[in-house]
Structure 1
């Protein structure tokens, strides 16, 4: 994980698929889990989806709230 990845979760939108245009931080846990089963895409997007899955799965999504307010 890079230091800027948490900020990217609240500024980067999903570029394709069912949730195209939605912030990575706002993706449903079931969608993130589906990616985990099928395989995350390569590169930064895959890294962000995996990070968001970990935050969501561990109940830590609220850690992103202060970053949303910037």
Structure 2
């Protein structure tokens, strides 16, 4: 091969990553969904009646492994899973205080 042409990477090498073409693996949640996480309640199951933000993380992990329900509830639970996975619960607590109209 000519020394002026790009050489293929060696076998087993990790190709360079083009960050400009990166897409989000998890969609950015609609802010209205975040409000729903602090106002809507779980409609069924072991935690029926619980405000979604209060669902325990192991329950959300179970849904992640078994499959989230379809429709809007499934979208909300997936968003909540991502929030909890990334340690963003304080964001929901602040939204919850604002929604209740309290200061803390």
TM-score range, shorter chain: over 0.9
Unaligned 5+ segments in structure 1 are none
Equivalent residue number for residue 40 of structure 1: 68
Higher radius of gyration, 1 or 2: 2
Equivalent residue number for residue 11 of structure 1: 39
Query: For the aligned residues, what is the CA RMSD?
Result: 0.8
3-state SS of 1:10 partner: helix
For CA contacts below 8 A with separation 6 or more, give which structure has more relative contact order.
1
Equivalent residue number for residue 53 of structure 1: 81
CA-CA distance at 1:66 after TM superposition: 1.8
Runs of 4+ residues deviating >3 angstroms: none
CA-CA distance at 1:48 after TM superposition: 0.5
CA-CA distance at 1:64 after TM superposition: 0.9
CA-CA distance at 1:61 after TM superposition: 0.8
CA-CA distance at 1:3 after TM superposition: 2.5
3-state SS of 2:45 partner: coil
Please state which structure has a larger fraction of its residues in helix: 1
* Count, aligned residues: 70
